[in-house]
Structure 1
Amino acid sequence: MKRKYSKIHALSIQILQYEFLGPIPLEEWGPPMEKLVYLILSRDKDKFNIVYLGNCQKTNDKAFFVQHPQYKCWIEKSGSEKSLYLAILPLFESSDDHRENVYKKILTHYKPVCNSSEIVEKKPDYVVRKSENTIPDPEQISCPCCGAKMIPEKVLEKSTLFRCTGCSLSDTKLNS
């Protein structure tokens, strides 16, 4: 099968450790396209911003991009059709799983604005909880150095950090 990537081969752009062919104006693209990850870029003077990241198994449809469900988002974020560019990462010899893995790495790192519905925010594996213990009454704590009043500076889970209003000495007290 003949692949039409001749216009794209002239330039390349590096995204993470992957070298994408292009970018070329999106309107210059022509089928076929097979087993690749692609970027829709918005050109802003000498800079390209990733607007959308896609994964293509195979297409011969010339209208592949203009009929894409996110096409309106691409135009909205780039300002016009003339600002849209295409870069591709051919993965002919790779498995579908490998292509999907590359796609997910780039998606997670760059979070393209028109892929926002696909981006899953990773939840932390810890929980921050407020201490149920009471903070010692600062009126009753005196500085062991100068005798001035100690005020709470930071409440931690099991203790409170106090700072002296006189000599700036700090002291930690367990919350009771």
Structure 2
Amino acid sequence: MSIQILQYEFLGPIKLSEWGPPMEKVVYLILSRQKDFFKIIYADDCEQTSDEKFFINHPSFKCWNNSALEKSLHLAILPMFESGNEERKRISDLIIARYHPICNEEVKEVKPDYKIRQKSDTQKISCPCCGSEMKVDQVLEKSTIIRCTECGISDTRLNS
């Protein structure tokens, strides 16, 4: 049996409880069976595993069980024996972008595209407008508001 996701033909789905190792260089999907169709609830790739408890010990297992009855959890795999990590990651990212699996949303770690500067008591902050010194105006729970002593412009800094 097979299932087509995007233009890829996945093997399965089989009940997750029937899976047995090994598994090597695959993109895998965790599916929830809902009457006559399967819903993708998690997508990822795997380099290699021989651990029988790979899925039970997975950080998202709790989400999978919350999203479906354990008996309705299924697995589909796309073997990619000649692939590299980047190719498998690209395919799993395409599936995530298209189907928005609920359990990928919870685990997704977003890395910021900014850097937090270390706070220094001796560092003087110059106003970007007039060059004068900026002083602390208000300290909030997660940020600090600073204000220029000359022109009054304000800025917000994250507390570290």
TM-score interval (norm. to shorter):
0.5 to 0.7
Structure 2 match to 1:37: 27
Summarize the alignment of residues 46-57 of structure 1 with structure 2, pairs less than 5 Å apart.
46-57=36-47
Give the whole-Å Cα distance in 1 for the aligned partners of 2:94 and 2:59: 22
Query: CA shift at 1:45, angstroms?
Result: 1.2
Matches within 5 A, 1:72-111: 72-78=62-68, 80-111=69-100
| Root mean square deviation of aligned Cα | 1.3
1:66 corresponds to: 56
Shift of 1:97: 1.3
1:25 matched to 2:15: yes
Contact 1:34 1:92 in 2 (8 A): yes
Deviation, 1:38, is: 0.3
Deviation per CA, 1:87-111: give whole Å up to 9, x if none. Answer: 0000001122111111111111111
Letter paired with 2:95: I
Percentage of pairs with the same residue:
58
Distance in 2, Cα, partners of 1:21 & 1:44: 19
Structure 1 counterpart of 2:10, which letter? F
Unaligned runs of 5+ in 1: 1-10, 121-176
Task: Tell me how far 1:119 sits from its aligned partner.
Answer: 8.2
Q: TM-score, normalised by structure 1?
A: 0.60
Shift in CA distance, 48/16, structure 1 to aligned 2, threshold 3 Å:
same
The 1:26/1:88 distance shift into structure 2, 3 A limit, reads same
Q: Matched residues in 2 for 1:36 and 1:30: separation?
A: 14
**Take 1:60 and 1:82, find their aligned partners in 2: how far apart are those partners?**
23
Q: Structure 2: where are the runs of 5+ without partners?
A: 111-160
Structure exhibiting the larger radius of gyration computed from Cα positions: 1
Question: Distance in 2 between the 1:98 and 1:54 partners?
Answer: 12
> Aligned pairs, how many?
109
* More strand by percentage: 2
- Give per-residue Cα distances to partners, 1:112-167, cap 9 Å, x unaligned: 000004287xxxxxxxxxxxxxxxxxxxxxxxxxxxxxxxxxxxxxxxxxxxxxxx
Distance, in Å, in 1 between the alignment partners of 2:83 and 2:38 is 27
